[in-house]
Structure formats: C-alpha cells, structure tokens
Chains A and B, each alone.
Chain A
C-alpha cells in the first residue's frame, strides 16, 4: 500500500516548456488535490477533484490545468512554464470525513 505517489520527484524546466506532474493514489479515495508550497506562504490549493471526471479551481489556478480521467490518478499540467511556477508541488487525496493524505512532493525549478 503506497498511499499517494508523485512523479517525478525533481524536475528542471526552461521557461516556456510544458510538463505534466502525475499523482497516483491506491486508497480508492474520491477527492484529490494539488497544492503548491512556497516559503512563508504555506500550501495553496491549485485545483481539486471531487470524483472521476470532475475538476474545479482552487486559490491559485492560473497557468495550470488538471485532469482526472481515472479515479486513482490526478494530473497537473503546466502548458508554458514560467519562473513564478518554481515551487514544491504536493498532491493529496481523501475520502468523506477523513483527513487528507499527502504525497512527498515534486520539486520543480523553472529557469
């Protein structure tokens, strides 16, 4: 039982490049979330999903897109990376009335 797995763990991009971050959970959770963590700002919600095939915007959605084609996977896409998107990205999942379980993050640097 791996819990929440994020890939890749590290990535360096050049400005304007695109990439997709993958989050996979094996707990059959309905809800999934993408956050970014920046120094002094805590974790901020980018997008979230309350079930397969559904997504919604969080606090800071601009510049990101997401997809939830399968219940166990939640993908975060950067279409045209910008230096302001340099951050640590965390995925989380949960079921109703349960706490969120987090992955160990993806450290993304954009040059």
Chain B
C-alpha cells in the first residue's frame, strides 16, 4: 500500500525555469511533510519541510505548497539551476517527535538543462 504517491517520475527543465513535483497522501493523521534531495552516490538530505497548519513555506528558491483538503503537497523550485539536478523525494510521517517513521514517495529525477 503506497501511502504517498509522487509524480512525475522524471522531469526535464531548462535553466531558469520552474520545476514542480507533486505528492498526494492518504493518511489524514500525517502531520509532517519533508522533502529530501539526493545526489548520485549520496544519501538523501533534508531540503525543506512543512506542517499542515500552514499552506506554504518558502526557503530561498524552494517552496512547499500544501493543500490539506485535497491531501496534496508540492515542491516548487524557482529559477532552476543545473546544480539542482538530483532525485527528490517527498515524505510524510505521524508525530515526528515520536518514532519519526517516514513514508516516502517514489522519487522524481530532475534534470536541469543549461
């Protein structure tokens, strides 16, 4: 049972463009939604995270938009750069202060063309 569904599987964007990755979840008990960035040969690293009490969070060129009623959240990368080329994972968890177990989406491979 895939509780977090991520799309698209792959994405190609021109330098300077906007990259958008979408995730949908099923469990309404989820209360923490992080995005992880992974470069080849490395482990995932936290990029940005949001809790359901806000609809948007922005950190530099990265923005999470959250729609609680639709049970969807998305990552927007503004002014995409070749250095942003990586695999991105959305995730969700219940009670990050407890066991902190994360349920990951399937991943999106982003390629930013110069």
Interface residues of A (CB under 8 A from B): 4, 31, 33, 35, 40-45, 48, 50, 56, 58-59, 90, 92, 94, 96-97, 99-100, 102-105
Contact = CB atoms under 8 A, between A and B. Distances in A.
B34 A99 contact: yes
Contacts of B46: 99-100
A103 B41 CA distance: 10
A97 B104 contact: no
B97 interface: yes
A48 B99 contact: yes
Interface of B, helix, strand, loop or mixed by DSSP: loop
A48 B99 CA distance: 9
B89 interface: yes
Interface of B: 4, 6, 9, 34, 36, 41-46, 49, 89, 96-107
B44 A102 contact: yes
B106 A58 contact: no
Nearest to A103: B43
Contacts of A92: 43
A56 B102 CA distance: 14
Contacts of A102: 36, 43-45
6 contacts: A4-B43, A42-B89, A42-B104, A56-B99, A99-B46, A102-B45
Contact of A45 (B6, B89, B96, B101): B101
Contacts of A104: 41-43
Contacts of B42: 104-105
The 9 closest A-B pairs by CB, nearest first: A102-B43, A42-B104, A99-B46, A43-B104, A97-B97, A42-B106, A96-B97, A104-B43, A102-B44
Given A97-B96, A97-B97, A99-B34, A45 B44 contact: no
Contacts of A43: 44, 89, 102, 104
